[in-house]
Amino acid sequence: MNKFAAIWRILKGGSCDAPWQATHRHRKGGLYRVIGPAILEADRSAVVIYDDAEGTVWVRSTTEFNDGRFTPL
């Protein structure tokens, strides 16, 4: 396993075998799982990294993520 794959595995919850489970619902209905907080390199702002059941990874500012468009499940 290369270094990137090992880091990604840790970020995704420590196991590639664990079933995907949503943690939040978007106001438009989509289900997402928060991977964790991070810092955007360009301006050092706080962001949330999250993914969907298809494996697409998203990054959104923490302010936007917590402004009511996502509801914890």
Q: What is the pLDDT along the chain (73 residues), one digit of tens a residue?
A: 444 444 566 666 655 557 889 999 999 999 999 999 999 999 999 999 999 999 899 999 999 999 999 999 9
Give the pLDDT confidence score for residue 2 in this predicted structure.
44
Max intra-chain CA distance, the chain: 39
CA angle 30, 34, 39 (to 5 degrees): 125
- Give pTM, 2 decimals: 0.76
Q: Where are the domains of the chain?
A: 17-72
Nearest residue to 52 via CA among 25, 14, 27, 28: 25
Would you say 66 and 37 are in contact if contact means Cβ atoms under 8 Å apart? no
